[in-house]
Every structure is written in C-alpha cells, then in structure tokens.
Structure 1
Amino acid sequence: MTTTRKAPGPRERLLESGQHLFYSQGASVGVDALLKEANVARRSLYEHFGGKDGLVTAVLRRTAEEDLAWYEEALAGGTEPRARLLGLFDRLDELVANAEFRGCRYFATDLAFADPAHPAHAETEAFRLSIRALLVRELEAMGHRDPEGAAEQLHLLIEGTLVMGATQDGRHPARAARSLAAIVLG
C-alpha cells in the first residue's frame, strides 16, 4: 500500500520560506521574495499572518522552539552542571564553524527593526529570557554562589560568540568564551 504525503499548505510554506530567507538574507527581505520562494499568493500572507510583521513574529516563535531544543541538547552532554555549561561552548564552536552559520537571528532581527514596539522584539526578548533561565537552572544545580549574575555573564559570552562567529574569519570565538566561562564558573 502506498501512502501519499500531503504537500505543505501555504501557511507552512510561508513559515519555511520565512525561516530560510530571514536567516540567510535578514528580516528586511522583501515580501515579493517571500511569496516567490513560498509559491503563494499575497493573500495567503495576509490571511495567515496579517502581513510580514506577523510572519516575522511567527518565524521567531518557531525558531525559538527549535533553538531552545538545541541548547537543551547541548546541555545534556555531561553528567554535572559545570561540564554541561562548558560543553555548551564546545557545541557553539561547532555551530559557528559551520559554513551555513550566519550569526544570531535574534540579534539580527533586533537590528532590522528600529521601532522598539515592533512585535519581533517581544519574541527576541522571550528567547533571551529562556536562554537565561536555562543557564540559571544549571548554575543553581551547580551550587554557584551567584546564579543570576553568572547567567548574565555566560549569556554575554554566548551572544558574543554568535556575533563574532558570524564573521567566518577562521577564528574560534567559542574557544575563547569557554576559557572565560571557566572563570565565571569558578
């Protein structure tokens, strides 16, 4: 018996195209390029997302789930919190060394939309708060004397790694960040 796989509908195609284009070309990519790649009519964009801003927000929400799962997986690599946190920087090194890596989508989105009231900023902030919560969880499990402060420092190292890694200049910012993380962890 053969089963036929249902082709993705316009909503899913818009999400997939938005995810691809916003990451590879930036969130300022034009609506026409989105519609062309998704092979949908302009009406579909407005019916499903109310416009490009709604699509940007939906794509960020979707990628945040995927990216948080990546962080959880990266933190699952060790038996004790300190090793897991340091291992996260090893995984970041692999990530930024990938030729497909284009930097932090959340940072790039924040730069693309100057209006602080743009709905994308709420999604980028929610993502960052989730990352911070993961870090605090690990630091508390480690018994760190200042989990909130250390989480802020580690988050800064992560963000710096992602920004510096976008240059693809052959350096390994995650390795330097790992050395600094070891100091933060004590």
Structure 2
Amino acid sequence: MPAARESLLDAACAALAHRPWSAVRMVDVAASAGVSRQTLYNEFGGKDGLARALVHREAERYLAGVERALAGCAGALDRLTAAAEWTAVAARDNVLVRAMLTGCWTEWLPTPPLA
C-alpha cells in the first residue's frame, strides 16, 4: 500500500478516536497525514471512498490476525479457542473491528456504503 494512502488511513483512524465520523473533515485528515486535500480526494474519491478503504483495511488486518492465531494449532478445539481469543482482543482494541463483527455501526464509525 503506498505510503500516502496508508498515512491517510491512519489519520482517519486517529480522527475517529476524537470525534464521530460525521464530524471527521477531509481537510483535517489530509493535514494530519501531511498531504494535500487533493491527494486525499485523488486517492479515495471522497469521504465514502475513504470509509470503504478504512473498513477494508481493518477487515484485512483482522483476518491476517486470525490466520496468525491459527498457525500452529493442531486440533479443532485449539483452533476455535485461538480464533475466539484473537477476536476478543481485536474487538476490544479496535472500534472498527468491533463494529464489523457486531454490525453495530453508529455515528462514531463510517458506515460502509453499499456497492
């Protein structure tokens, strides 16, 4: 993932720690990432595109964590336990993962647009 894109996603994630998604401004995300607002719009097309990319990235990170948790587990019970433990930690530590797993999208999170 290009550095500017990753920085923008990190900045959007950080913004969610301080205000609801409805109050996250593209200009603030761009400034926090150290890029122009035009770069942000070129990369994501708009706020919906940023939300979609943010949710996609966090889902990929969650699934990569599940794969790491399952590595080396032999039996079904061990695999189930490892997946459950990773899921609990990921959901506790990441509000986007928690929303993805529970479907509890609120004004604090970017509701993924349909499409």
Under a length normalisation based on structure 2, what TM-score does the superposition of the two structures give?
0.68
Could you tell me which residue of structure 1 aligns to residue 5 of structure 2? 11
CA contact (8 A) 1:17 1:37 kept: yes
Shift in Å, 1:105: 4.5
CA contact (8 A) 1:77 1:87 kept: no
Could you tell me which residue of structure 2 aligns to residue 20 of structure 1? 14
What per-residue deviation string (whole Å, max 9, x for no partner) do you get for residues 145-180 of structure 1?
xxxxxxxxxxxxxxxxxxxxxxxxxxxxxxxxxxxx
Q: Alpha carbon RMSD of aligned pairs, Å?
A: 3.2
Point out where structure 1 has 5 or more consecutive residues left out of the alignment.
1-6, 124-186
Could you tell me which residue of structure 2 aligns to residue 39 of structure 1? 34
Residue type of the alignment partner of 1:19: C
Higher relative contact order, chain-length normalized (CA < 8 Å, sep 6+) = 2
Question: Percent identity over the alignment?
Answer: 29
Alpha-carbon distance in 1 for matches of 2:105, 2:49: 15
Alpha-carbon distance in 1 for matches of 2:88, 2:8: 31
Residue type of the alignment partner of 1:59: L
CA contact (8 A) 1:74 1:88 kept: yes
| Larger Cα-atom Rg | 1
**Of residues 69, 90, 96 in structure 2, which corresponds to 1:74?**
69
Residue type of the alignment partner of 2:36: A
**Of residues 48, 53, 58 in structure 1, which corresponds to 2:43?**
48
CA contact (8 A) 1:27 1:108 kept: no
Point out where structure 2 has 5 or more consecutive residues left out of the alignment.
none
Aligned length in residues = 107
Alpha-carbon distance in 2 for matches of 1:80, 1:18: 39
Shift in Å, 1:63: 1.7
Taking a change above 3 Å as real, the CA distance of residues 47 and 122 of structure 1, as seen in their structure-2 partners, is same
CA contact (8 A) 1:11 1:44 kept: no
Residue type of the alignment partner of 1:91: W
Residue type of the alignment partner of 2:6: E
Shift in Å, 1:108: 7.8
Shift in Å, 1:94: 4.7
Shift in Å, 1:30: 2.5
